Amino acid sequence: MVNPGAFQGAWKAFLMGEKEFYSQAVDDGFVAEAVAKIQLRYFKRFPIDLPEEEDPSPEDLAAVDDDAIEPDYQEPDPEKMTSKEYEEAMEKLGSRQRKIAFRRGQIKCWLAYQYMKDHDINSKASGAHNPYRALLFKLTGKEFI
């Protein structure tokens, strides 16, 4: 059975629309900046608290303003909570941060994979001197043998 991938529905449609921007960034040498911008735009459309099986409504997607400044996420205040409430809030915050880091990694890997697939690049074909292999290593942090 074929793996459907990490992104489905509107989530995947958004990333498919970003492939050209990413490809241009690779060609121009500003991949990190492009990935950061794509991730920012992604999280504005698909908040981390939104279940993966659920697509946002077309109205929610239309209401996204990419130029709007994101409000700061407030850390729990230990002065206003009991110690148990504070510990629970900090655990929830840590869980949220782990989910964000994981999703950012998924996006970065998906973009690199799609670029290599679209440009018919095999990361293992040219050995250690393949520049795309080095790029994939930088993006994913994984060595390809």
CA 143 to chain centre: 20
Q: How high is the mean pLDDT of the chain?
A: 84
What is the torsional sign of CA 91, 49, 115, 41? Answer: negative
Q: What is the pLDDT of residues 64-83, one digit of tens each?
A: 888 888 877 778 888 888 88
What global pTM score does this model have?
0.76
Structure token digits, residue 19: 């492939």
Residue type, 133: R
Structure token digits, residue 59: 């109205």
Q: What is the pLDDT of residues 26-64, one digit of tens each?
A: 888 899 999 999 999 999 999 888 888 888 888 988 888
- Count Cα atoms within 13 angstroms, Cβ side, for 24: 7
How many angstroms separate the CA atoms of 108 and 106, rounded?
6
Of 28-32, 88-92, 126-130, the poorest mean pLDDT is in 126-130
Q: How far apart are the first and last CA of the chain?
A: 25
